[in-house]
Structure formats: structure tokens, C-alpha cells
Amino acid sequence: MYVESPPGHPAVTVAAPAKLTLSLRVVGVRPDGFHLIEAEMVSLDLADTLSFGPGDGLEVTETTTGLRVPVTDDNLVRRALAVVGRTAHVRLVKRIPAGGGLGGGSADAAAVLRWAGVADLVTAASVGADVPFCLRGGRARVTGIGEVLDPLPPVEATYTLVVPPFGCATPAVYRAWDAMGGPTGAGPNDLEPAALRVEPRLAEWRDRLGRATGETPVLAGSGSTWFVPGAHPGDGRIMVRATPPLLV
């Protein structure tokens, strides 16, 4: 997905759509400590944008709340550039809340790969477990540690998100899940009990969304975003739509 730059502007701008994990079961742990999952994911019309120009560097403009986005070599944009052997001066506008469980960092890395003309899912997986899905987009059954995709037919769907003004660090949530003995979530996301232990304030935001919509909110990935199906406009809520695949 490309967004054309103004005439005469040297940069190329690429959209980086968020992902929404509709269901997530943790089905095992590999010897290296990575968790095996069975999930269903869709890409959304909520997206960061990355502008690639001459030079070498990373600028981040944050337009949302959440965890701070580092500009060090650990940033997935830098890691993706290194994997494809390219350099660029990248201006990243963050609209996907960092730490919100919406795959923002992986989406940004996938945008780098698309800019570089790389469509290989193995290469994407070497950057991060969620990068293959974010590279392809659409709707898929996701297994392994997140790198195995089974595309599913696209659906037209709208979701309502609530994003608290704080994030949840994925490694901390998985550590808590391990420490709790690997609980199964009461709903479609096994990570909900662990995320609530890591960040008890999540319960307030879940209950607020549930009361306002009459639906049972589901945690997006490892949190902190909660979502319900359908459009429920209101203060602090974000309406998003599922989007078709980026690669076929």
C-alpha cells in the first residue's frame, strides 16, 4: 500500500496498516522460550505512514498515546532495513499506539519490506514473528510463533477500539502467562488474564467499553487495546474496518 508523495518530493511514502488479533490461543512453548499460538488476524484501515528519502536516519512523530517508540537499532524499522541491506532516511508517523497490541512495530517493519520490494515471508519472519502477517495483510489463520499464515477469505467488518493511555509490553505479558501456569482465557484471547495481572488498569477500560456498547470486549493481542464488533461511536472510541490483503 503506497501513498504517493507530492510532485517533486523525493520521498516515497508507504502505509503500514495495523493488525487486529480476533482470537488467540497459546498452545505451547518452544525450547527457545517462544510461544506457539493459534490465532485469527485481520488488517485494519488504522495505519502508520513511513516516508523514505535519501540518507540514513529515523525520525518518529507520535500522534497517539502508548509506550515510547525507540529510535535505536532495536527499532523494527532499523532492523528491517538491515535485513534487506538498504539505507534511507525514514520519517515515521505513528498512529498505531505502541504497546497497544495492534502490531504497530511489525507493521512498520513490513512497510520497509514492501518499499524494498521484498515479499518473502521467511525474510519477514527473521525481523519479527508478526511481520509476515503485516507484510501480507488481509485475514489469516496464524500459527507457529506468528510466522505461519493460512490466508482466509476477506470479510467486510467494522470494529470499535478503545486504546488506554498506556501500553502493555508483550514480553512482560508472556512472562506473566508463564508464571500463572499458562491459563486459558474465558474469551477468545488466552493472554487476557496475564495482561490484567501486568496492568490491572485494563479492567476499568474493558468495563467502560462493555457498558457503553452492550458487547463483551476482547483484548487485542497482549493489550492494551480492547475491541468489540460493530460501530459504536462515542468519546474516546475508534472505529476501524478490516482491509484486504496487501500482497497476493
Rounded mean pLDDT, 82-88: 96
* Alpha-carbon gap, residue 45 to 39, rounded angstroms: 20
* Catalytic (active-site) positions: 19, 130
Q: Where are the beta strands (DSSP E) in 194-236?
A: 218-219, 226-229
Give the Cα-Cα-Cα angle 217, 63, 126 (nearest 5 degrees).
Answer: 75
Tens-digit pLDDT profile for residues 132-188: 999 999 999 999 999 999 999 999 999 999 999 998 989 999 999 999 999 999 999
Nearest to 153 by CA among 42, 28, 18, 31: 42
* Alpha-carbon gap, residue 148 to 142, rounded angstroms: 6
Residues facing residue 162 across a β-bridge: 226, 237
Tens-digit pLDDT profile for residues 53-80: 999 999 998 776 555 666 666 799 999 9
**CATH no. for 2-20+44-132:** 3.30.230.10
Residue 6 clears pLDDT 60, i.e. is over it: no
Nearest to 55 by CA among 10, 20, 97: 10
Cell triple for 39? 490465532
* Positions of CATH 3.30.70.890 in the chain: 158-243
Rounded mean pLDDT, 2-12: 53
* Positions of CATH 3.30.230.10 in the chain: 2-20+44-132
* Alpha-carbon gap, residue 190 to 193, rounded angstroms: 7
Superfamily, domain 158-243:
GHMP kinase, C-terminal domain (3.30.70.890)
